[in-house]
Structure 1
Amino acid sequence: MEAEIQPREQPAPVIDPTLQALALIPARGGSKGIPGKNLQPVGGVPLVCRTIAAALAANSVGRAVVSTDDPAIADASSAAGAEVVTRPEALAGDAASSESALLHALEQLAQDGPLPPLFVFLQCTSPFTTGAQIDAVVRQLQTSSANTAMAVIPWHGFLWSRDPSGWGRGVNHDASLPRQRRQDLEPCYLETGAIYALRTAPFLAARNRFVPPLLPVEVDGPAPEIDTPLDLAVCRQLAGLLDPDPAGGAA
């Protein structure tokens, strides 16, 4: 269960509409499933550094900021070209939400100057994020009335859940009718978890990344997430096929 984010009385931050989007990358040190996960290498490059490289390759991003409680992550992030916000221990445990890290980082950055009207929340667990994908999500947010845009990929399969009795129930199809062709199913999308573009002021008010209206943005390319050691092993194998150069940094 995620720790509740307690609202605090803060002066309203100054928003400068002329500033480029800010990339915020939460990267705490603790991880039970994969120890030191955010520094684990894929294609020879630590996950946090891959995400920083993708952020800095995006034309829409003016600066990349990593929020971390871990000195080793802070050092790696600085060397990769990111600014670092030191996250307090209370916001770095297993129960702490990503939103709590984002809110803390924005509050700290607002003390040093105006915030941009948009920011991008990027997750290190998506090692193949590219600058072009970030730009696509930001562009869709900028040209819409949405408050949140998120990266998604199409899902073409038949989804099932269980009813209260435990029996199977179709989610995106009606199993009592003749079997549909996959291409005739209502479009469904899988949230990649890699990229979220948000309008800064509405996010600060709602304290939640999903501020309606919400806009799913289809992105090209594979979007595996690393949650388990097997995911990490698979992504390391994929790096040889998907990385644009032997050094690994996603561009």
Structure 2
Amino acid sequence: MTTGPLIAMIPARLGSQRLVRKNLAPYKGAPLIAHAIRKCFAAGCFDAVWVNSESAEIGAVAQAEGAQFHRRPPALADSVATSEQFVAEFLEAHPCEAVAQVHSIAPLLTAQEVAACVAAWRAGGQDVMLSCIEDQIEVAFRGRPVNFTFAEKTNSQDLTPVQRITWAITIWRREPYLAALRRGETATYGGDVGFFPVSAASGHVIKTQADLDIAEALSRVRG
């Protein structure tokens, strides 16, 4: 198995449609992106912390917080570019064992959870580690039960939880990711995939002003 640096990569484009300048939105006295950087350093499990953005303004915040700045091409920062494209561009530029994508828009994800996710990934040896919320409730898809049956009523606590992917943190091994792309396959789920559960609050992601307001409220509850 390839060994090498484990890099934290925080994606943070400046343009956003539902919440303008989302990654620079103030949260608990600092921009969202600053909290993500501090969290990665506090986790104590990365060889380097990078912010991946097309914006010099975001880059200035990154460097002020002690992170390194990867300036992605503008073409990979619009609403059409996919995450696979900008992750691949970053991985091509930065040889490493793996990259952990830590989203700034999941501010309630804790440094302890980040470190625990990395530890679980190392212990399991997966090519991909997806953060998820385990929902232990009846779930149907297109009218058909997923984790329960219409034949009987089961207590919720006896159900098998469904794993709702949250993207708060995702880990990819570099070589399997790039190899999948070269084969024309989906790199996001390429190889052996593991799941790391986080709390419902930690998996809360900010896409709108209402989401940001909820995160602020949850933060106050958490203390």
Normalization by structure 1: what TM-score? 0.80
Given candidates 16, 19, 22, the residue that maps to 1:34 is 19
Cα pair 1:58 1:132 within 8 Å, conserved: yes
1: CA distance, partners of 2:161 / 2:217: 30
Given candidates 140, 156, 162, the residue that maps to 1:188 is 162
2: CA distance, partners of 1:72 / 1:156: 42
Alignment correspondent of 1:85: 70
2: CA distance, partners of 1:67 / 1:240: 29
- Residue type of the alignment partner of 1:170: P
2: CA distance, partners of 1:18 / 1:68: 24
Given candidates 190, 202, 217, the residue that maps to 1:211 is 190
2: CA distance, partners of 1:53 / 1:213: 30
- Residue type of the alignment partner of 1:169: R
| SS of the residue 1:212 aligns to | coil
Given candidates 38, 56, 60, the residue that maps to 1:75 is 60
**Segments ≥4 residues shifted beyond 4 Å:** none
2: CA distance, partners of 1:41 / 1:193: 21
Given candidates 99, 102, 123, the residue that maps to 2:103 is 123
Deviation, structure 1 residue 28: 0.5
Deviation, structure 1 residue 98: 1.5
C-alpha distance 161-18 of structure 1, shift in aligned 2 (>3 A): closer
2: CA distance, partners of 1:241 / 1:56: 24
Deviations 1:129-158 (CA, angstroms, capped at 9, x unpaired): 222211111111212231111222220111
What is the percentage of aligned positions where both structures have the same residue? 28
Counting only pairs closer than 5 Å after superposition, residues 139-218 of structure 1 correspond to structure 2 as 139-162=119-142, 168-175=143-150, 177-207=151-181, 208-218=187-197
Alignment correspondent of 1:4: none
Cα pair 1:152 1:191 within 8 Å, conserved: yes
Cα pair 2:9 2:101 within 8 Å, conserved: yes
1: CA distance, partners of 2:2 / 2:63: 25
2: CA distance, partners of 1:55 / 1:107: 22
What is the number of equivalent residue pairs in this alignment? Answer: 217
Alignment correspondent of 2:184: none
In the alignment, is residue 25 of structure 1 matched against residue 13 of structure 2?
no
Alignment correspondent of 2:201: 222
Gap runs ≥5 in structure 1: 1-14, 110-114, 163-167, 244-251
2: CA distance, partners of 1:105 / 1:44: 30
Deviation, structure 1 residue 102: 1.4
Greater relative contact order structure (CA < 8 Å, 6+ sep): 1
Larger radius of gyration: 1
